[in-house]
């Protein structure tokens, strides 16, 4: 299983992974000057004012290096953590293992107060980790698929540097464009 530093703590972004982009974000304070700031003196809409509200470029606008390193399983092992699964992911995992969803759930999934998570062995390894790596790689959950492009690793350059100290694939190999990072992020 992903070690505790890699795996998600119970956070809203992973407990409710299907939230649409932007859900929960703080709305612009239109009633406190925001609306006025987007209008010119004669009341007409002011394009320049709207431009000022555009989202700034992320610090990784020039892209990021990442290639998972052969033989490394660091994010599937270690201290206790969580790998969240929703119904669709569970069905895909069950199909990949040739099990009925209920049987897959019984063998490999645990319930937590925050949702369902893949079971881990006593040593913290993900129960789906085999000698050659992930045994369900093609059907692995979104949380695994999007690693290491998680919000907590992308927030600042320092967050990415902290991740890179634990993930030997960070800053290596393939260069991901900013758009690719955004598409891949969890
Ligand atoms: S290189 Fe990084 S992403 Fe790949 S298994 Fe190791 S810790 Fe995980
Ligand atoms: S499902 Fe696969 S990729 Fe995800 S933590 Fe388990 S072994 Fe690793």
For the chain, the three-class secondary structure string (H helix, E strand, C coil) is CCCCCCCCCCCHHHHCCCCCCCCCCCCCCHHHCHHHHCECCCCCECHHHHHHCCCCCCCCCCCEEECCCCCCCHHHCCCCCCCECCHHHHHHHHHHHCCCHHHHHHHHEEEECCEEEECECCCCCECCEECCEECCHHHCCHHHHCCCCCHHHHCCHHHHHHHHCCCCCEEEEEEECHHHHHHHCC
What pLDDT digit, counting tens, does each position of 105-151 carry? Answer: 999 999 999 999 999 999 999 999 999 999 999 999 999 999 999 99
Q: Is the CB of 64 under 6 A from ligand 2?
A: no
Q: From the CB of residue 35, how many other CB atoms can be counted at a distance below 10 Å?
A: 12
Q: Considering every ligand atom shown, identify the ligand nearest to the alpha carbon of residue 128 and give its number.
A: 2
- Compute the Cα dihedral for 120, 121, 126, 130 and give only its sign: negative
**Does the pLDDT value for residue 74 go beyond 50?**
yes
- What is the Å distance from ligand 1's center to 173 Cα? 13
pLDDT value at residue 87:
97
Q: Considering every ligand atom shown, identify the ligand nearest to the alpha carbon of residue 76 and give its number.
A: 2
Structural domain including 120 reads: 60-184
Average pLDDT taken over every residue of the chain: 80
pLDDT value at residue 37:
34
Q: From the CB of residue 137, how many other CB atoms can be counted at a distance below 10 Å?
A: 13
Q: Which atom of ligand 2 is nearest to the CA of 83?
A: 5
pLDDT value at residue 40:
38
Q: Considering every ligand atom shown, identify the ligand nearest to the alpha carbon of residue 119 and give its number.
A: 2
pLDDT value at residue 48:
55
Tokens of 117: 């998570």
pLDDT value at residue 131:
94
How many domains, in total, are found in the chain? 1
Q: Is the CB of 74 under 6 A from ligand 1?
A: yes
pTM equals 0.75
Nearest CA, atom 1, ligand 2: 140
- Compute the Cα dihedral for 76, 173, 151, 92 and give only its sign: negative
Residue 48 lies in a domain: no
**Phi/psi at 20 (nearest 5 deg)?**
-65, 155
Q: How confident is the model at residue 174 (pLDDT cuts 50, 70, 90)?
A: very high
Nearest CA, atom 4, ligand 1: 68
CB 63 within 8 A of CB 178: yes
Q: How confident is the model at residue 50 (pLDDT cuts 50, 70, 90)?
A: low
Residue 27 lies in a domain: no
How far is the first Cα of the chain from the last one, in angstroms, to the nearest whole number?
17
Residue 6 lies in a domain: no
Residue 130 lies in a domain: yes
Please state the rounded mean pLDDT for residues 94-106. 98
Q: How confident is the model at residue 10 (pLDDT cuts 50, 70, 90)?
A: very low
Q: How confident is the model at residue 2 (pLDDT cuts 50, 70, 90)?
A: low
Give the residue, out of 104, 130, 136, 147, with the most ligand 2 atoms within 8 A of its beta carbon, to mutate for a pocket test.
136
Residue 13 lies in a domain: no
Rounded to whole angstroms, the Cα distance separating 17 from 146 reads 12
Range of lowest pLDDT (72-76, 175-179, 182-186): 182-186
Q: How confident is the model at residue 56 (pLDDT cuts 50, 70, 90)?
A: confident
Share of the chain above pLDDT 70, in %: 71
């Amino acid at each position: 299983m992903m070690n505790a530093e890699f795996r998600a703590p119970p956070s809203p972004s992973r407990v409710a992974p299907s939230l649409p982009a932007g859900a929960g974000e703080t709305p612009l304070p239109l009633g406190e000057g925001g609306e006025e700031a987007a209008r010119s003196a004669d009341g007409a809409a002011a394009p320049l004012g709207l431009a000022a509200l555009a989202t700034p470029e992320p610090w990784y606008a020039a892209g990021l290096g990442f290639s998972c390193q052969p033989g490394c399983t660091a994010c599937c092992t270690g201290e206790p953590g969580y790998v969240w699964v929703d119904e669709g992911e569970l069905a895909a995992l069950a199909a990949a293992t040739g099990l009925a969803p209920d049987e897959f759930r019984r063998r490999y999934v645990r319930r937590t107060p925050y949702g369902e998570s893949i079971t881990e062995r006593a040593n913290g390894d993900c129960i789906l980790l085999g000698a050659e790596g992930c045994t369900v790689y093609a059907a692995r959950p979104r949380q695994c698929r999007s690693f290491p492009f998680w919000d907590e690793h992308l927030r600042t350059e320092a967050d990415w540097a902290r991740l890179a100290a634990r993930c030997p694939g960070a800053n290596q190999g393939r260069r991901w464009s900013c758009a690719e990072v955004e598409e891949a992020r969890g």
